[in-house]
Amino acid sequence: MIKVSFMGVGSAFSRKNSTSSILVESGSIKMLVDCGTPVIKSIQDFGLSFKDITHIFVTHLHADHIGGLEFLALECRFHLKHRPKIVSTASLLKRLWNFSLKGGLEYVEATFGDATPQTLNDYFECVSIQAEEWFRISTEDPIQLFAHASDHVLGMESYSLEFSEDPHIKEKTILFTGDTRLDPKLLEHARDNCQHVLHDCQLFDSGENNKFGVHTSYQQLLKLPPEIRQCLWLYHYGDTPLPDAKNDGFLGFIEHHQSFTTS
């Protein structure tokens, strides 16, 4: 069984609901998908410590998704003596280090005169995957993941994720879209192949037909056919009052700490 729990359901600027991230559990695996700055409290709220986290998947490099990684890296290395696996494509992991983490983690206090630069591998066991194909997370557990390239910000590498015990069985598969603009083909795939579809949702349009939006807007989702809307759980929303998603044909807005499991 795969269990997906929301450690945060809010948008980048949410104060009430924490920034969106999930904990994926299957057997001995506890995988964080994204790691924003609220991760310290989020982990504690679930009765866990960073030492319990076996894997971290990075979907893209915006701060609300990686802002807690530097603290996690230092805590794991120097306090917990723990080296979790960090998972993404080779290109995204390279950019994560060079443009986001290197400034704070390249040099650490050590013997006077020893200025040996550190690398991402000194903090994490790096696991590179190929996008657009299934990847077995562990030889000891059946869970697999599939990274779909998502259309979030022009020029930025970004992914939606499917998790499955058996990709041929709908009831064994969950889709987490991450941050994405509307992708009708992905939604049609998810309708036919995923038990739970957990979808990005901005509460406002950014220009006419969300022209300047980098997230899928609620107004766009309302225009989807009923057979698609009835499959969708919504997250990544702001702190303003929520529309009546169930009345509009959706399964609802995901609440902080809500969980989903495969059958």
For residue range 199-218, what is the model confidence (pLDDT) as tens digits? 999 999 999 999 999 999 99
Full-model pTM = 0.96
In a domain, 146, yes or no: yes
51 domain-assigned: yes
Q: Which residues of the chain have pLDDT under 50?
A: none
pLDDT score recorded for residue 62 = 98
Which residues are within 8 A (CB) of 63 and not within 5 positions of it... i.e. 6 or more apart? Answer: 12, 36, 37
Distance set, CA 163 to CA 68, 196, 243 (Å): 23, 10, 29
- Other CB atoms within a 10 A radius of the CB of residue 222 amount to 13
Q: How many CB atoms lie within 10 A of CB 167?
A: 15
Q: What is the pLDDT of residue 113?
A: 64
The whole domain housing 224 covers: 3-254
Does 54 fall in a domain?
A: yes
Contact 245, 254 (CB under 8 A): no
Residue 86 and residue 55: Cα distance in Å, rounded?
6
Total number of domains constituting the chain: 1
Which element (helix H / strand E) includes 186? helix 184-193
Position 260 in a domain: no
Domain for residue 135, yes or no?
yes
Does residue 259 lie in a domain region?
A: no
Write out pLDDT tens, residues 78-117. Answer: 999 999 999 999 999 999 999 999 999 999 876 666 678 9
Q: Helix and strand tally (H, E) in the chain?
A: 9, 14
CA–CA distance, 86 with 33 (Å, rounded to integer): 10
* Domain-located, residue 262: no
And the tokens for 191?
A: 């309708």
Can you tell me whether residue 127 is helix, strand or coil?
A: strand
Q: How far is CA 51 from the centre of its chain?
A: 19
Cα–chain center distance at 228: 22
* 128 strand-pairing partners: 88
In a domain, 108, yes or no: yes
Q: How far apart are CA 187 and CA 200, in angstroms?
A: 12
Catalytic residue among 107, 171, 227, 255: 107
Closest listed residue to residue 237, CA positions, set 6, 35, 12, 38: 12
| Residue 12 tokens, joined | 């980048």
pLDDT for 109 equals: 76
Within 10 angstroms of residue 192's Cβ, the number of other Cβ atoms is: 9
Between CA 36 and CA 151, with CA 54 as vertex, the angle to 5 degrees is 45
188 carries an active-site annotation:
no
Output the domain CATH number for residue 49: 3.60.15.10
| Catalytic residue status for 171 | no
Per DSSP, the residues of 88-122 read: EEHHHHHHHIIIIIHHHHS----STT--PPP-HHH
